Structure formats: structure tokens, C-alpha cells
């Protein structure tokens, strides 16, 4: 698939069929995500792929109503996290710029973008979810103390291609000065 087509046709998918997502495929996605740029190449993003039914139910409990369907039907639930106190910090453990912790979120976003585009290329649907009970999610995956949950991504194969929500034009988004 051409990059432009992949970019334009990736959609947030919120309903999946029950086809299994193989471990090799999940590996391929993280293999793509590892090429994301990151603050001083700190590479702080981590992925937890949840396939166990018991753990998936625990994640479901951490989700608000509007994220229930995607989470429930997902073949695999991805929790992406960041190793803290690295991205955006200098060697003395101080913030390197006024954006502070913002850079670790930025790095995770860059990584998630590659992850979800690669998923699209391989025929998988994804939806990044930002609203969840953080403590419950962290507990479910036995998150180490030096990591923080950033996003939960429901993923699976799907039948129905969602419609594209309207996009703003380049005339609004771009200022060439
Ligand atoms: C940081 C972030 C958080 C999001 N959180 C949610 C969410 O909690 N639930 C949901 O259904 N979609 C969520 N989305 C998906 C957006 O609603 C979606 O990307 C947007 O409507 C554009 O649609 P598209 O991805 O199909 O192009 C999130 C997306 C991002 C990037």
C-alpha cells in the first residue's frame, strides 16, 4: 500500500470481528513503531498486548461507556506506556525545556502513529483511546513503577469501513510565513 493511501484511509475502527491477531503480526507493528523519532533517541514507548480474556475484561472495566464496544470486540488490546523521567529531561533529571512532561507524550504519539499506520497496511483496524481509569489499567498489566500509561488501543480485523470524520483544509492548518 502506498504511504499516501495508508495515511488517507486509516480510520478509527470501533467494532471488530473475532479473527485472531497473530503474535507475529503484533511483532511487526512494534517493529515498525521502533523507527519513530524520540527525544534524544530515548525510545521511551513500550507496548503491552493483551490477549488473555481475563485481562481484557479487566481493561473493559476501566473503560467509560463510549469505549465499551471497541474494547469488548477487540481481538487484542494494546496498552502503550512510557518510561518516565527520560524524554524531556537532561542527565541531571531536570526538564530540558519548558514543555516538561509533554515530550514523553509527544514521543508516544509519534510511535502510536507508526503502529496504527502499519496496522492499517496489514488490514487491521485500531482506535486509540485516551479516556480510561489509569490505575485499573496499570494494575491489570502489572505496570513497573517507572512507566506511565499513555494510550489504550483496541485492535482487530473488521468488516465495516468507518466514514472519515471531516477534515479541516490546508488553508486553515498551514501558515507559510
Ligand atoms: C489522543 C487520542 C485520544 C482518543 N480517544 C478516543 C477515545 O477515548 N474514544 C474513541 O472512540 N476515540 C478516541 N480517539 C479517536 C478520535 O476520535 C479519532 O481519531 C478522530 O475522530 C478522527 O477519526 P479517524 O481516526 O477515523 O480519522 C482518540 C484519538 C486520539 C489521537
pLDDT 10s digits, 97-146? 999 899 999 999 999 999 999 999 999 999 999 999 999 999 999 999 99
Please report which residue ranges of 11-165 form alpha helices under DSSP H.
23-33, 53-61, 68-73, 102-121, 134-140
The CATH code belonging to domain 3-158 is: 3.40.109.10
Provide the residue ranges of all domains of the chain, joining segments of one domain with +.
3-158
pTM: 0.97
Distance from the CA of 130 to the center of ligand 1, in angstroms?
8
Distance from the CA of 127 to the center of ligand 1, in angstroms?
6
pLDDT in tens, 25-80: 999 999 999 999 999 999 999 999 999 999 999 999 999 999 999 999 999 999 99
% of the chain with per-residue pLDDT over 70? 100
- Among 73, 130, 151, 167, name the best residue to mutate to test ligand 1's pocket (greatest count of ligand atoms within 8 A of Cβ): 130
Question: For residue 122, what is its C-alpha cell?
Answer: 496489514
% of the chain with per-residue pLDDT over 90? 94
- Among 63, 105, 128, name the best residue to mutate to test ligand 1's pocket (greatest count of ligand atoms within 8 A of Cβ): 128
Position 91 pLDDT exceeds 90: no
Strands (E), the chain: 45-50, 76-83, 125-129, 147-156
Res. 24 pLDDT band, cuts 50 70 90: very high
Q: Whose CA is closest to atom 9 on ligand 1?
A: 129
Distance from the CA of 7 to the center of ligand 1, in angstroms?
15
Distance from the CA of 84 to the center of ligand 1, in angstroms?
24
Amino acid at each position: 500500500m502506498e504511504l499516501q493511501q495508508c495515511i488517507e484511509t486509516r480510520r478509527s475502527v470501533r467494532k471488530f470481528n473475532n479473527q485472531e491477531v497473530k503474535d507475529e503480526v503484533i511483532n511487526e507493528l512494534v517493529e515498525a513503531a521502533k523507527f519513530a523519532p524520540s527525544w534524544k533517541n530515548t525510545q521511551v514507548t513500550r507496548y503491552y498486548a493483551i490477549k488473555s480474556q481475563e485481562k481484557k475484561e479487566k481493561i473493559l472495566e476501566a473503560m467509560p461507556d463510549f469505549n465499551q464496544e471497541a474494547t469488548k470486540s477487540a481481538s487484542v488490546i494494546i496498552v502503550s506506556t512510557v518510561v518516565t523521567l527520560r524524554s524531556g529531561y537532561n542527565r541531571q533529571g531536570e526538564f530540558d525545556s519548558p514543555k516538561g512532561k509533554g515530550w514523553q507524550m509527544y514521543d508516544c504519539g509519534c510511535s502510536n502513529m507508526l503502529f496504527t499506520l502499519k496496522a492499517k497496511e496489514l488490514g487491521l483496524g485500531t482506535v486509540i483511546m485516551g479516556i480510561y481509569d489509569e490505575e485499573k489499567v496499570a494494575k491489570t498489566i502489572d505496570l513497573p513503577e517507572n512507566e506511565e500509561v499513555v494510550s489504550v488501543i483496541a485492535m482487530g480485523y473488521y468488516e465495516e469501513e468507518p466514514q472519515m470524520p471531516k477534515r479541516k483544509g490546508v488553508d486553515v492548518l498551514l501558515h507559510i510565513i
